[in-house]
Amino acid sequence: MKKMILLSVLGLTLGLTLARAEDTNKAESKPEAAASPSFADPTKLTATAPETFKAEFDTTKGKFVIEVTRSLAPKGADRFYNLVRSGYFTDIAFFRVVPGFMCQFGIHGDPQVAAKWESANIADDPVKGSNTRGAITFATAGPNTRTTQLFINFGDNSRLDGMGFSPFGKVVEGMDVVDKINSEYGEGAPRGRGPWQDRIQKEGNAYLKKDFPNLDYIKSATIVPAEAAKPAAAGK
């Protein structure tokens, strides 16, 4: 009982849990992804990330840059690196934006692709960082259930550290852009007026763009080339 109360307060695991329970109850078959970009096959995206790297996100509100430190959460950093490098995040919505808390994203807009990733879990990483402002972390539906959903912390959410949410990087440029991501829909259904995660999984961006037309989206995400990520040498 205590666990369910805690989940309902924080909401980070509840939405994923509800969506997966709904899928189990309906027991619907899922279509195979059509001949496919690389991000449609999770089994092929297993590269090891560099020890540090940067990823630039171009969104409908502007650009921001995340710097990843692999040692903070190696499994999470590797998954993020592969998602970015494959082009997975193109046209992905910030579907849950709670002012003062966090913005969440990562369900693919194509339901066939989303179905491929829904059970592509990675094991948990020990928590070595903290969910402070700008930190990026995977959402979960319980132990060892991280897939593609992530959140960026708007404020100091270090209370999440003890719940197993392990950050692997931080916004180092453009946090003002992250702050501007549209929050008018707030918390997701059924606790709020925002989108149902189950419907995003099954209907994708068609559902979001029809019923939540003012959501912000990621237009593209790319790995910043190593040389470009290095600071200029003194005197040059």
For residue 32, being part of any structural domain is answered with no
The tally of domains found in the chain comes to 1
For residue 109, being part of any structural domain is answered with yes
Radius of gyration of the chain (CA): 17
133: domain CATH number is: 2.40.100.10
Three-state SS for 51-116 is CEEEEEEEECCEEEEEEEEHHHCHHHHHHHHHHHHHCCCCCEEEEEEECCCEEEECCCCCHHHHHH
pLDDT of residue 226: 82
For residue 133, being part of any structural domain is answered with yes
pLDDT tens string 74-110: 999 999 999 999 999 999 999 999 999 999 999 999 9
Domain that residue 69 falls in: 2-24+45-226
For residue 14, being part of any structural domain is answered with yes
For residue 38, being part of any structural domain is answered with no
For residue 215, being part of any structural domain is answered with yes
pLDDT tens string 55-73: 999 999 999 999 999 999 9
For residue 200, being part of any structural domain is answered with yes
For residue 100, being part of any structural domain is answered with yes
Q: Quick check: 234 pLDDT over 80?
A: no
What pTM did the predictor assign? Answer: 0.83
The tokens for 78 are 């590797």
More confident residue, 222 or 36: 222
